[in-house]
Amino acid sequence: MRNPLSKTIVEIQPSGIRKFFDIANEMEDIVSLGVGEPDFDTPWFVREEGIYSLEQGKTFYTSNAGLLELRKEIASYLYRRQKLTYDPKKEIVITVGGSEAIDIALRAMIDPGDEVIIPEPCFVSYAPCAKLAGATVVPLQLKEENAFKLKKEELLDCITDKTKILMISYPNNPTGAIMTREDLEPIAEVARERDLIVISDEIYSELSYRGDHVSIASLEGMQERTIIINGFSKAYAMTGWRLGYLVGPAFIVEQMLKIHQFAIMAAPTTSQYAAVLAMRDGDEEVAKMRESYNQRRRFLLREFERLQIPCFEPEGAFYIFPCIKKFGMTSEEFATKLLYQEKVAVVPGSAFGDSGEGFLRVSYAYSIEELKVALGRIEKFLETL
């Protein structure tokens, strides 16, 4: 039989630490701080709206771009929060999670050989999706001393004649870092001067604890060169509903919609009806969850300080990113030992790129009680080192 496989896909290595994840998912009595999804249930009024839509028999495809009603809500949300104006008819596509949005955004803009700058550590799908689209991935190593913010000089160092896209994600998974307006200005300046397109994954935008999130698209001259990716998973605790969206200039979004139309058809109808209500009436529930996350964030930071594990102060998402370099182990060694010895699952920072080496991603999408049990075990583990 001939080799049925695509060279491009075979060349993309499955994550080296997948074995670690398999063990963690199968072991008994594990206390996990390893998830990237909220522990809250989707607010009841949102679930109820999904159920109601089913009762009414709303079980058909929506238009390819998604329910217009939902796109209008998203436009009004972006205006409310970022003073950004988008045309719901031409500049917004509802996707199957932020993940699909990442994929189609890259595919619609990349020709073979185009370079995409991806600051790391970052979410795991950016580089593989860029490669599948034919891009050359240029990783940029973010530094803890900069609180994992992207700096102008670092960006300039990575730019070549072939650079087309900069992929950023703040508030960041896995570091919890954020970028303020002042932090974003110099980056926007480079993007404008060097004619870069920015894909800004803002899936954690509602989880920012020191002032509101600022989208790079809201900076001068940036809306025309920015694709914003966002979704319902993190803010509204709707991971399982698989619903996200992207917004951007009409002539780019039009091409993205083509891929979406042929590959996906349309995002799940039930999820879209539920999401309309989430966007319309969800602010209060989001604020409640944000307050809880923030309390856990403060709690964990104080506890890691007590355990003398250095950790910069993350200001967004629901992760802290402590540094374990002083223990003389790699992230994966540390995480594996912690898993076997004390049955606590955390994610090695190296899962998110080379610059994540020496760090752990600790999620606080858990109740204080759960965090305390895990911390007790971690404390015991540290005594054995």
- Which residues of this protein are in contact with another protein, per CB under 8 A? 21, 24-25, 30, 32, 34-37, 39, 41, 123-124, 173, 291, 295-296, 298-299, 302-303, 345, 347, 351-352, 368, 372
Beta bridge partners of 362: 320
How far apart (Å, rounded) are the C-alpha atoms in residues 362 and 319? 5
The answer to whether residues 283 and 258 touch, using CB atoms and an 8 Å cutoff, is no
- Residue 206 beta carbon to another protein: minimum distance, rounded to whole angstroms: 18
Structure tokens at 267: 């995002």
- In the complex with another protein, the residue whose CB is nearer, 218 or 270, is 270
- In the complex with another protein, the residue whose CB is nearer, 143 or 372, is 372
Handedness of CA 80, 83, 85, 91 (dihedral sign): negative
The residue length of the chain stands at 385
- Residue 30 beta carbon to another protein: minimum distance, rounded to whole angstroms: 6
Beta bridge partners of 179: none
The answer to whether residues 168 and 205 touch, using CB atoms and an 8 Å cutoff, is no
- In the complex with another protein, the residue whose CB is nearer, 86 or 304, is 304
- In the complex with another protein, the residue whose CB is nearer, 156 or 287, is 287
Q: Under DSSP, is residue 116 helix (H, G, I), strand (E, B) or coil?
A: strand
- Residue 10 beta carbon to another protein: minimum distance, rounded to whole angstroms: 22
The answer to whether residues 283 and 76 touch, using CB atoms and an 8 Å cutoff, is no
The residues near 215 (Cβ < 8 Å, ≥ 6 apart) are 78, 82, 84, 200, 202, 205, 226, 228
- In the complex with another protein, the residue whose CB is nearer, 86 or 170, is 170
Beta bridge partners of 137: 116
- Residue 228 beta carbon to another protein: minimum distance, rounded to whole angstroms: 21
- In the complex with another protein, the residue whose CB is nearer, 240 or 310, is 240
- Residue 164 beta carbon to another protein: minimum distance, rounded to whole angstroms: 26
- Residue 82 beta carbon to another protein: minimum distance, rounded to whole angstroms: 26
- Residue 295 beta carbon to another protein: minimum distance, rounded to whole angstroms: 4
- In the complex with another protein, the residue whose CB is nearer, 197 or 335, is 335
- In the complex with another protein, the residue whose CB is nearer, 36 or 43, is 36
- Residue 311 beta carbon to another protein: minimum distance, rounded to whole angstroms: 14
Whole-Å CA distances, 240 to 42, 49, 152, 231, 263: 9, 15, 37, 12, 20
Whole-Å CA distances, 267 to 134, 235, 301: 25, 18, 38
Handedness of CA 187, 193, 198, 202 (dihedral sign): positive
Structure tokens at 113: 């050989």
- Residue 79 beta carbon to another protein: minimum distance, rounded to whole angstroms: 28
Angle CA 190–125–18, to nearest 5: 140
Task: Give Rg (Cα) of the chain.
Answer: 21
Report which secondary-structure segment, H or E, holds 257: helix 250-263
Beta bridge partners of 319: 363
- In the complex with another protein, the residue whose CB is nearer, 207 or 351, is 351
